[in-house]
Amino acid sequence: MTLKGNTDLPQSSGSSIMKTKELTKQVRDKAVEKYEAGLGYKKISRALNISLSTIKSIIRKWKEYGTTANLPRGGRPPKLKSRTRRK
């Protein structure tokens, strides 16, 4: 599968669902800066080449928690401690 325009996105082989890496803190901060400057979601989305839903999520998290840093996720704790995994 090839993508037009943005070549640094991972390309999927066979699956229609693509997993991508998290955005960097700098990119999320840039989105918030543009929002504070008065730009709308669509304009920010086009300027940073990020999906509209992602921009909305970034701004929502920033309004709720006051940060653009990655927040901890839920899930089962690892069976092995990091020290044991290194051996």
Cα torsion through 76, 79, 85, 87, rounded to 10:
170
Categorize the per-residue pLDDT at 77 as very low, low, confident or very high, splitting at 50, 70 and 90.
confident
pTM above 0.75, yes or no: no
* pLDDT score of 17: 66
Phi, psi for 42 (deg, rounded to 5): -65, -45
Q: Tell which residue, 5, 10, 1, has the closest CA to residue 46.
A: 5
68 vs 48: CA distance, rounded Å: 16
Q: Are 27 and 9 spatial neighbours (Cβ–Cβ below 8 Å)?
A: no
Q: Which residue has the higher pLDDT, 7 or 45?
A: 45
Per-residue model confidence as pLDDT tens digits over 9-37: 444 444 456 667 889 999 999 999 999 99
Cα 31 off chain centre by = 11
Written out in words, the top-level CATH class of the domain with range 21-68 is: mainly alpha
% the chain with pLDDT above 90 = 54
